Amino acid sequence: MKLLLIPFLLIVWICLDLFFGLKRHRSKITPMENTLYKQSNVQFFTQGDKWLDHLLQQTEKATDHIHMQFYIFRDDNIGKKLIHELKESAKKGVTVRLTVDWLAHSISRKEQKSLKKAGVQFEKLNAPSFPFLFYSINERNHRKIVVIDGKYGYVGGYNVGDEYLGRDPKKGRWRDYHMFLEGAGVADLQQCFFADWNEASGESVDFEKTLYLTSPEDTIPMRIFSTNGAHLEHIIDDVLEDAQFSVFIGTPYFIPGERLKNKLVSLAKRGVKIQILIPKYPDHPLVKDAAFPYMPELLDVGVEFRQFYEGFYHAKVVTVDERLMFIGTANIDKRSFHINKEINTVISDKDWIKPVKEEIEKDYYESAEPITMNTINKRTLFERLKEKIASAVSLYL
């Protein structure tokens, strides 16, 4: 009897912890700040090796500072290569600040000491804390930001590690999207970086004093939103609101919740063509099982689903009528909407969006297979049981 009591009490503790932790999180939500469209020159990356080469070239040219923030930072070949560059920059007198998510990174303690010895300022974000330990473990900083010399910035889906360049034989080819910015939008990246940096380090650096913005040619209007487990669902809802012809959604995890599902149903019923691309092979347990309960109603109104089979699809993008594009770090799932810290952009420029959209849709038409009602009806009893379990814990997947 005593042996049964211990796991029972543990389950009760975890449930109460998650319930009251979420309640506290929601009580701290403040109104969303109204961000403005700012002009930036934007370069788009769909391949990890090209993104990394570009990033390394920019870090080598840094003269004032490198501010780098990643959710996952592996202590593997790619991670070591980037760490080496950061150390070399710090030794040359460049101010280097590196932040990683407390739970998701794998930089060894030895390497952390080596970074600090070389002059790199290093902080871990969102460490678990009491009284709501289990909920705080779920509060992750999912942002990926780089700012160099207050002039150039990167934001998107790539983390740091061999797998993100397609070098993990188990996951194979890795599809993701990332952007390089020059112009006024870099200020928003810098502001977001220092919001996290100052919280973790206890410093109070004024981000505006670290800006040296340029005025490049060929700029496009872009809004940047940083969210802390709130408002993101509303932002996406607003992006979709005026869709007239088409919506494309690419996401590794599709757990939209009722509000966004109903929005998609409404759009489809008024004749908007909706295409959704997800990976065929998930990288975490239950995440794909949690997507299936949303599909029948969406398929019934004409929404198209496809699954990417040439490796892993990690991209996060929404396009509307070739006139709006939402892209950044957030997945179309409850965790990104209601728990994680994320940073995303909304771009409004038809000439820029059109070729990017065409590139994005190649995966949909050339490297993906349809998901139909027949696919769903063939799911086994065990798979349907997993759907029920996944739905029950979908907020924390």
pLDDT for res 1: 64
Output the DSSP codes for 196-212.
HHHHHH-----GGGG--
Q: Which fold has domain 222-397?
A: Endonuclease; Chain A (3.30.870)
Q: Distance between CA 4 and CA 297 in Å, rounded?
A: 41
Burial class (CB in 10 A: 0-12, 13-18, 19+), 128: middle
Chain mean position to CA 252: 10
Q: Which of 147, 175, 143 is nearest to 64 (CA)?
A: 147
Mean pLDDT across 74-80: 95
Q: What pLDDT score was predicted for residue 168?
A: 82
| Rounded average pLDDT over 195-217 | 93
Mean pLDDT of 383-396: 94
Domain at 37-218, CATH class: alpha beta
- pTM over cut 0.75: yes
- Residue 356, CA distances (Å) to 177, 237, 311 in order: 10, 22, 21
**Catalytic site residues?**
142, 144, 149, 314, 316, 321
pLDDT reported for residue 170:
80
What average pLDDT does range 302-309 have in this prediction?
A: 98
Domains 37-218 and 222-397 share a fold: yes
Specify whether the CB–CB gap between 363 and 252 falls below 8 A.
no
Kindly report, residue by residue over 207-236, the tens digit of the pLDDT: 998 999 998 989 999 999 999 999 999 999
Give residue limits of the domains in the chain: 37-218, 222-397
pLDDT reading at 262 higher than 80? yes
Collapsed DSSP state (helix, strand, coil) of residue 56: helix
Q: In whole angstroms, what is the distance from residue 81 CA to residue 265 CA?
A: 46
Give residue 31's pLDDT band: very low, low, confident or very high (50, 70, 90).
confident
